[in-house]
Amino acid sequence: MNKTPFKVIYFGTPEFAIKPLEALLELSDVEVSAVVTKVDKPAKRGQRLTPPPVKVYAMERGIPVFQYESLKKEVKKFFLDIKPFGIISAGIVCAYGLIIPKEVLEFSPVGLINIHPSLLPRWRGAAPIERALLAGDKETGVSLMKLTEGLDQGPIYSSARCEILPNDTAGTLRERLSCLGASLLKENLKLILTGKLLPKPQSEEGVTYAEKIAKEEGLIDFAKESAEEIERKVRAFNPIPSAFTYLDGKRLKVLRAEVGTLGKSAKGYKPSQVIVAERGRFEVACKGASSILLKEVQLEGKRAMVVEEFLNGYKIKEGAFLGRYG
């Protein structure tokens, strides 16, 4: 029996990475020697330097924190920083956000164990949660994998499934997957560190890629997207970067929406044309004689409002067009 705790280095940055770190700290035979995260960045309107959530969490618990602008360029400094900790059994990675060079991938006996929020090989890449919602997937999950140089191509130690609920947003799904990843790590880490659980190669079938989300993707194209596709986009881009359109030349974020019922019966309405905007109902025509019912919106420069409240203060004529040129 190994009475000396296994030493690990944790690589993570956003809120999503806190639950797995918390799980590590609950393991009596594991010691988190240090946390590696991205550098503080200017945030919001004031552009004040803001530390990553994982840095705040680690420092509150007295865990040493190392930050690099580019781990690839500062790899020598990384090894100098962790040298005092002695032999490191493994690195644990969860939404770190920077390229990890080969030297770091191989710096410990086990290498780096990555918590990836999808059922690999589906949705390799930067935005698996958003892409799963956009595609209308019914389930997703978390994969515990050995990190390699290829993009999320490493062999899998274990995985866990998670149902995607009809009203899930990227925010709600991300929270559940973070908890699921923490549980998966807690259940399997000791088995991995002791060599009792070995990774198995990913299947070559069913490979898809989750490209990074661009803010411009949030623009709703009523002529090219059906109500079902728009509804999925609204959920996938909530809380950030938000799905949006334009109203009277101002950006209108759509925070919640449902597939409408008036599209098929509202003949003569073109996509992006307002079918109704009164008595708390804001419904817009979309592709294929479908319609989208907006439930919560935020007009540029204003706070978020449920549609009932929004329509009380903003009059929109039936037949008006939404969009940049509406």
Q: What is the mean pLDDT of the chain?
A: 96
pLDDT band at 178 (very low <50, low <70, confident <90, very high): very high
Burial of 15 (0-12, 13-18, 19+ CB in 10 A): middle
Q: Mean pLDDT over residues 197-215, rounded?
A: 97
Q: CA–CA distance from 102 to each of 68, 106, 148, 242, 293 (Å)?
A: 16, 6, 8, 36, 49
The predicted pLDDT at position 207 comes to 98
Q: What ranges do the domains of the chain cover?
A: 6-210, 215-313
pLDDT for residue 1 is more than 50: no
Q: CA–CA distance from 208 to each of 10, 40, 42, 125, 216 (Å)?
A: 27, 32, 33, 9, 22
**Helix 170-193 crosses helix 18-25 at what angle (to 10 degrees)?**
30
Q: What CATH number does the domain located at 6-210 have? A: 3.40.50.170
AA letter at 10: Y
Q: Which CATH architecture has domain 215-313?
A: Roll (3.10)
Determine the Cα–Cα distance for residues 224 and 176; give it in Å rounded to an integer. Answer: 32
CA atoms within a 13 Å half-sphere pointing along the CA-CB vector of 235: 25
pLDDT band at 325 (very low <50, low <70, confident <90, very high): low
pLDDT for residue 45 is more than 80: no
Q: Mean pLDDT over residues 237-241, rounded?
A: 97
pLDDT for residue 44 is more than 90: no
AA letter at 33: S
The distance of Cα 116 from the centroid of its chain, to the nearest Å, equals: 10
The predicted pLDDT at position 267 comes to 78
Q: Mean pLDDT over residues 279-289, rounded?
A: 94
Q: In the numeric block, which tokens belong to residue 282?
A: 């804001």
Q: Select from 213, 140, 146 the least CA-distant residue to 177.
A: 140
Contact 93, 107 (CB under 8 A): no
Report the range of poorest mean pLDDT among 31-35, 239-243, 286-290: 286-290
pLDDT band at 326 (very low <50, low <70, confident <90, very high): low
Determine the Cα–Cα distance for residues 24 and 278; give it in Å rounded to an integer. Answer: 52
The predicted pLDDT at position 4 comes to 87
